[in-house]
Structure 1
């Protein structure tokens, strides 16, 4: 044991100058890291850099060992884990194993303590284990420990030590190869699940995320345990990996490794997540520069997303082959002349498939769609498909027969899973080249949490779900009722496929995407009416979401304008479903019951306007009468007769019957039923089954600063305001309504608690209610939006419209309301819209005497708002 190798670093002679040796070692480490960083910046291959760093660390560790551990000690030292693999990134873990029997461990305890302390003093944060061979066997019952030991590399050890360690973890003692494979496959599945089974998030993990370096390492561990192969070339020779697949994995490993090496450098510490804090700096260091279409950071992230997609694709194939190696092949189940099932996987029967014929590629997907029992695509056929991708032409160059086959897939069984499979396997990007351009393309903001291609597939999945039976926790109010009425559902799928396909190409992506859709539909010989519908949907796919989020859909003028743009009920229904799917597919947090109801209401109001004719807007008097009648009907179920209802109506502003829904007015009337004049009335109701989206109603004698006090109180209760309406009631009262969402759905405040605490707050002095102070979330610091404030004359007369665009943050609305209160301004209405990091809020305000703001007041308010917003951002 203890065959110490000479160090590359000079070791001071004599035992008294340890401080000098430590300084020399630290200097050597610093020089090594600086030289490696310079080589990285010159573009040198990462595999050489991480290997050279491991060798440099080997020398320092051996020197420290020689200074502390006597040559006669029966101890062996191994590098394990990634260090054992011979890879050390700038801030990677350094994992060590000391192998010795238990008596020797005890006898050399002081020497080992000296050794590990010396490593820390150098600046090497090494983790270690001290075990005997028998203890290694026991510890390896944990597959994670076994994995680290599998990659052991001797630093100070002889042949006997190496043999003892290998024997302690041999398959006949712990984790036979098949069991190990199954355990690691399950571990990978669970790891992917923790990351939402997608690498396409805003701050992906380069190491542990799906398609990251850990997936590559997992394949290596499986190969090492199963076949004793440490290199991909050995698996190629054994026939388990194709040469093209090995080349693809090596290429993407270099791409991912380069990102990881650079990330460690810019972070200055062990960091595996591509956090916003580092993305722009890393992109600049890697040489990515902004251009007219894409930011440099977006270009860099696209490299990651595409690399991760390829790693996942090849990883799936190899796992299937390893599974076949252990479980063997079963008799195939023929399906037709071309395809069969092998152990449940769809496979081409002919090894020479697809014979240079792109039509057979489309036939494969048609067969796959018809077989719900297929576990997936057989690895051999998946590889043959990958090698045959060049056969698939872009649709513009394809034959009419091939175009017909694609449309048959779109109109056939389970078209959305088919499109997902085609996208994942690279076929869709070949058929529609514009889709390939958005594959892996991210947008550097907080609104779009998926790459464009993954968002598109999420939209298509949402559309497909509308045709399925409703789950118990259905998130969509009426979408499933609308879907069966569609004339041709495939047209909606086409619109979903093309709605964002032009992102990153400059100009308005809706207009450019509409041109793409026009060309696609014409090439596939769609009828003129169908083409016009698809093109219109792509061009106008944002119209409905912008209308509900930025305008007052209870205003007949807004409905009339929207109905005029939509023009007919078929377009309305298609656009409604596309909008629901698009919003819900943008971010898991973006869709909620409040947005669901807004869109459903806009559809209902617009259908009425279209039925009556857009040239004849609904008369206000007629609409108020209809609402009153509907409210009376609802109140009658609570034993409220017409006389009592009429009395309650006297407490309402006439505006309520024009702008509010009948169920909303009835709910507010019930809240006022037992209230005395002068009471503060607070009522809260849930808009969904999970009490996530809430409506808050406040009725109170009016006081200066009341709106601000309500907003600040809701903020302090952890509620995020999505919409606010402030109406003046009879007798100097207010009728304020708020649509809110809990900031933390894991620990929501109960409805009863909200009602009690808000009532208590509003019943006392309002001046004591002040905005809470919060630290700005980390991710918002990287998305600074220059505030824009605009004033316009209000359509209501005597009011001013204040429009504010700035960076969103917790407590923003409360701070704005506080400024308005200090300026003694009245708030009559508010539209709150948030798009990721971007807040776009609109308020109708006036002076205390209900007059519009003059120029001096506007200038003073602008200065006060900018001071508050900028001050909070900088804080």
Structure 2
């Protein structure tokens, strides 16, 4: 039971004035201790010593408070439990206490205990507490989380009788026998990992609860304590469950994480366990990580965390398996290949001395793993043998050709992507390719790359495995059709493996990575043409994405240039698949139906250009006529008469037949039948049946401010705009097309509802519409930079191109559209692209008379945009 505040106890009269003075003195003493420990932290003092000193200081204050409030012989005992019981008290950690007493004693001293806990809170020691009898402890410990706190109980004020009583109450004979406790904690650990996506490689990882975090180490300690009665993981060495090297590694990495957590509490000034952007830079500086030409200090700090978490996960996987073997015993081995067997589903080397320092034996293991079904993982002793040899594994450049051929056989064999992922997780890939080790755990301090470089690389390879499965996937509409055309799929895997391998070296990572890829392929005996293909893919791996997202791929000149760069269909197939895998592997939110279709459009347009030849591209008039013929045939199939079709064509701009796909034109032409001349048409449809991406078509008499009105309405409805195509039609009309996806929680992807919202907005006075104001997401606040504004001449005569690069935020495009309207400018075309925290948008502009902007109007626009987008302006401030 938890005591409630009550009046003074008869046997311990409350001294309000004295208590207040003691609490003030205690608070000052604790503040002094924390300040002293903070200085010692900055001087790189041992973090275990700092934790011990803080625990001792808090112990002293709590015991003083107890002695002040609780009379001797009261029949009450006090224990520290949980992390405090372990003696692991971080600057803002919880202080968990247990008062042990029989029920009648509890009732007699309710007021005493209420005074005690109030005094602790007043002293700046916000203790969480439970008051239980031994019998109540037995009942509460049926919850394994309560038992976990109790098994680490440390007496603060407790005689031997109380200590023995608590020990008896939570004995395995009464609650949670070792095997059941182990299974429960393992299930809890796996569930916790899943909450974090089963990876520590997140932008804002949780030091305490995330995979490979301190909680994993605590869990191993709890299991060891319950199963073997040892209070220190090091004791498992003597029991044969842990090697000396493994124990040393766990101790080393624990200190890395403990130091990060200690510093994080100091910086956050609260019990924060996530390395949030709010604290990363400050913490890195406080821990002495400085910037240099290749890396930011914060990136170095985070790489250290990710590497520590990886080692902890690697060793804890082995230790969990050994605990399982301890409880369930070894099963009869089942041979699965020369020298290898399955033991309880784990792949094991038959030779206890494996791998004998031989890389060939290691590659043979991975080959056996790839061809064997239903393998739970690597047997703990085999994994330990591999770990002990890890530092001795030679780089690919230091072995003979037969070993390199073994590696290539793995790439050409079954489950090649799974093999590479296993090699990476177990540390083998980084030894074989030292450049991969350099980017392992390397993060980039931005919102675009949500994974570390090595994790991103594995995500890219996983996407390639999805393409190879041959199954149609709604996320990648044509990838499964392109994959079978690849001459040698392993070349694409190599390009994926090397495409980001030079990140963090300074210089262009694509060019540096191409050098690495060329050396690797040559050493592994690839032909000159295959080597050059892989190197070219690495060097150009961003080109297709940039072309699709930043250029007008309906412009024949853009397609002509891109096709000239690609050169042939073979390279196009490889580059297309690499680009899809790369974008989708950057962030779960980065890939969508719009980008899928955008890249597919570029792929098909380039394939056609390559087929027709680059020397004589089709004249625009012929392209328009070809598109008209295609659309006419499709509309006939829908039952439309030729006269109706021709009437619709005359109402549509010629440019639309160049800019849009035939199925879009059919949709637009059929939609126009519904309206009378001079009316306004708003149509919305799903881009694909499975996606939430929508295409919005607006046809209306032209009015100043129409673009801004549509953009602001879409923004207010919660939709993000990916592309805008703004065309002028006959008789002073507009043909505006927008491709959007839900960006806010209030956008449900309902096409009919969005149609209604837009119709209502455009039917009123559009000049009174204003951008909505929303709170900037926390993460974006840490990636502010000065906007860049550039004006260029347009390839379209009579237009001015505005290139805008600015920090992204909710409502950014609506704000820009509002500025353009206020400057009385017309938007003739727009390309919208967002990369993490960066918005990179392009607008083709004219004045109200459809003339290009003058120097005066460009300067006025620049000033207005800077006033709107200045990073120092808070969202919501008047512009």
Provide the rounded CA distance (Å) in 2 between the counterparts of 1:482 and 1:313. 37
1:284, 1:296 within 8 Å by CA — same for their partners in 2?
Answer: yes
Could you tell me how far 1:245 is from its partner in structure 2? 0.5
Deviations 1:736-758 (A, max 9, x none): 00011101468614111100011
Q: Secondary structure of 1:335's partner? A: strand
Task: Answer yes or no: is 1:147 the counterpart of 2:152.
Answer: no
Question: Who is 1:743 aligned against?
Answer: 743
Could you tell me how far 1:634 is from its partner in structure 2? 2.3
Provide the rounded CA distance (Å) in 2 between the counterparts of 1:874 and 1:293. 32
Deviations 1:652-683 (A, max 9, x none): 11110011100111111122111112222111
Question: Who is 2:209 aligned against?
Answer: 208
Task: Answer yes or no: is 1:324 the counterpart of 2:325.
Answer: yes
Q: Is the alpha carbon distance of 1:104 and 1:746 closer, same or farther for their aligned partners in structure 2, counting shifts above 3 Å?
A: farther
Task: Answer yes or no: is 1:831 the counterpart of 2:831.
Answer: yes
2:693, 2:749 within 8 Å by CA — same for their partners in 1?
Answer: no
Provide the rounded CA distance (Å) in 1 between the counterparts of 2:682 and 2:135. 69
Q: Secondary structure of 1:602's partner? A: helix
2:299, 2:444 within 8 Å by CA — same for their partners in 1?
Answer: yes
TM-score by length of 2: 0.97
Could you tell me how far 1:830 is from its partner in structure 2? 0.4
Provide the rounded CA distance (Å) in 2 between the counterparts of 1:15 and 1:844. 75
Could you tell me how far 1:67 is from its partner in structure 2? 1.3
Question: Who is 1:18 aligned against?
Answer: 19
Task: Answer yes or no: is 1:366 the counterpart of 2:367.
Answer: yes
Deviations 1:36-66 (A, max 9, x none): 1111111111111111111110111111111
Task: Answer yes or no: is 1:298 the counterpart of 2:299.
Answer: yes
Q: Secondary structure of 2:831's partner? A: strand
Q: Secondary structure of 1:654's partner? A: coil
Task: Answer yes or no: is 1:624 the counterpart of 2:624.
Answer: yes
2:23, 2:120 within 8 Å by CA — same for their partners in 1?
Answer: no
Provide the rounded CA distance (Å) in 2 between the counterparts of 1:72 and 1:635. 96
Could you tell me how far 1:501 is from its partner in structure 2? 0.2
Q: Is the alpha carbon distance of 1:747 and 1:706 closer, same or farther for their aligned partners in structure 2, counting shifts above 3 Å?
A: closer
Q: Is the alpha carbon distance of 1:263 and 1:853 closer, same or farther for their aligned partners in structure 2, counting shifts above 3 Å?
A: same
Q: Secondary structure of 1:79's partner? A: strand
Could you tell me how far 1:624 is from its partner in structure 2? 1.1
2:723, 2:830 within 8 Å by CA — same for their partners in 1?
Answer: yes
Could you tell me how far 1:334 is from its partner in structure 2? 2.0
2:99, 2:129 within 8 Å by CA — same for their partners in 1?
Answer: yes
2:336, 2:372 within 8 Å by CA — same for their partners in 1?
Answer: no
Could you tell me how far 1:691 is from its partner in structure 2? 4.1
Q: Which residues of 2 match residues 429-444 of structure 1 at below 5 A?
A: 429-444=430-445
Could you tell me how far 1:20 is from its partner in structure 2? 2.1
Question: Who is 2:379 aligned against?
Answer: 378
Question: Who is 2:7 aligned against?
Answer: none
Q: Secondary structure of 2:833's partner? A: strand
Q: Secondary structure of 2:803's partner? A: strand
Provide the rounded CA distance (Å) in 2 between the counterparts of 1:747 and 1:721. 13
Q: Is the alpha carbon distance of 1:691 and 1:778 closer, same or farther for their aligned partners in structure 2, counting shifts above 3 Å?
A: same
Provide the rounded CA distance (Å) in 2 between the counterparts of 1:130 and 1:149. 12
1:717, 1:749 within 8 Å by CA — same for their partners in 2?
Answer: no
Question: Who is 2:245 aligned against?
Answer: 244
Question: Who is 2:568 aligned against?
Answer: 568
Question: Who is 2:58 aligned against?
Answer: 57
Q: Secondary structure of 2:510's partner? A: helix
Could you tell me how far 1:774 is from its partner in structure 2? 1.4
Question: Who is 1:92 aligned against?
Answer: 93
Q: Which residues of 2 match residues 592-603 of structure 1 at below 5 A?
A: 592-603=592-603
Could you tell me how far 1:283 is from its partner in structure 2? 0.4
Provide the rounded CA distance (Å) in 1 between the counterparts of 2:237 and 2:632. 78
1:119, 1:126 within 8 Å by CA — same for their partners in 2?
Answer: yes
Question: Who is 1:468 aligned against?
Answer: 469
Provide the rounded CA distance (Å) in 2 between the counterparts of 1:866 and 1:341. 66
Could you tell me how far 1:163 is from its partner in structure 2? 1.3
1:447, 1:836 within 8 Å by CA — same for their partners in 2?
Answer: yes
CA RMSD of aligned residues (A): 1.3
Question: Who is 1:407 aligned against?
Answer: 408
Provide the rounded CA distance (Å) in 2 between the counterparts of 1:669 and 1:69. 87
1:357, 1:391 within 8 Å by CA — same for their partners in 2?
Answer: no
Q: Secondary structure of 1:740's partner? A: strand
Q: Secondary structure of 1:722's partner? A: strand
Deviations 1:387-415 (A, max 9, x none): 11233211111111111111111111111
Q: Secondary structure of 1:598's partner? A: helix
Q: Is the alpha carbon distance of 1:14 and 1:770 closer, same or farther for their aligned partners in structure 2, counting shifts above 3 Å?
A: closer
2:786, 2:870 within 8 Å by CA — same for their partners in 1?
Answer: no
Could you tell me how far 1:282 is from its partner in structure 2? 0.5
Could you tell me how far 1:637 is from its partner in structure 2? 3.4
1:785, 1:838 within 8 Å by CA — same for their partners in 2?
Answer: no
Provide the rounded CA distance (Å) in 2 between the counterparts of 1:102 and 1:398. 73
Question: Who is 2:3 aligned against?
Answer: none
Question: Who is 2:712 aligned against?
Answer: 712
Q: Secondary structure of 1:388's partner? A: helix
Q: Is the alpha carbon distance of 1:457 and 1:745 closer, same or farther for their aligned partners in structure 2, counting shifts above 3 Å?
A: farther
Task: Answer yes or no: is 1:702 the counterpart of 2:721.
Answer: no
Q: Please identify, of 270-279 and 326-335, the stretch whose mean Cα deviation from structure 2 is larger.
A: 326-335
Provide the rounded CA distance (Å) in 2 between the counterparts of 1:691 and 1:334. 47
Deviations 1:227-272 (A, max 9, x none): 1111122110000111110000000000000100000001111100
Question: Who is 2:4 aligned against?
Answer: none
Could you tell me how far 1:336 is from its partner in structure 2? 3.4
Q: Is the alpha carbon distance of 1:285 and 1:414 closer, same or farther for their aligned partners in structure 2, counting shifts above 3 Å?
A: same
Provide the rounded CA distance (Å) in 2 between the counterparts of 1:96 and 1:506. 52
Q: Secondary structure of 2:692's partner? A: coil
Provide the rounded CA distance (Å) in 1 between the counterparts of 2:755 and 2:728. 21
Provide the rounded CA distance (Å) in 1 between the counterparts of 2:763 and 2:592. 31
Question: Who is 2:862 aligned against?
Answer: 862
1:698, 1:737 within 8 Å by CA — same for their partners in 2?
Answer: yes
Q: Secondary structure of 1:270's partner? A: coil
Question: Who is 2:788 aligned against?
Answer: 788
Question: Who is 1:129 aligned against?
Answer: 130
TM-score by length of 1: 0.97
Deviations 1:354-404 (A, max 9, x none): 112111111111111111221110000000001112332111111111111
Provide the rounded CA distance (Å) in 2 between the counterparts of 1:517 and 1:426. 20
Deviations 1:557-582 (A, max 9, x none): 11111000000000000000000000
Provide the rounded CA distance (Å) in 2 between the counterparts of 1:355 and 1:175. 42
2:786, 2:871 within 8 Å by CA — same for their partners in 1?
Answer: no
> Any gaps of 5 or more consecutive residues in structure 1?
1-12
Deviations 1:77-129 (A, max 9, x none): 11110000011000000011111111111111101100110010001111111
Provide the rounded CA distance (Å) in 1 between the counterparts of 2:335 and 2:749. 58
Question: Who is 2:188 aligned against?
Answer: 187
> Any gaps of 5 or more consecutive residues in structure 2?
1-13
Provide the rounded CA distance (Å) in 2 between the counterparts of 1:747 and 1:802. 29
Q: Is the alpha carbon distance of 1:853 and 1:747 closer, same or farther for their aligned partners in structure 2, counting shifts above 3 Å?
A: closer
Provide the rounded CA distance (Å) in 2 between the counterparts of 1:494 and 1:111. 70
Provide the rounded CA distance (Å) in 1 between the counterparts of 2:873 and 2:195. 32
1:65, 1:115 within 8 Å by CA — same for their partners in 2?
Answer: yes
Q: Secondary structure of 1:531's partner? A: helix
Question: Who is 2:353 aligned against?
Answer: 352
Could you tell me how far 1:732 is from its partner in structure 2? 1.2
Q: Secondary structure of 1:130's partner? A: strand
Q: Please identify, of 708-717 and 770-779, the stretch whose mean Cα deviation from structure 2 is larger.
A: 770-779
Over 6 Å off, 4+ runs = none
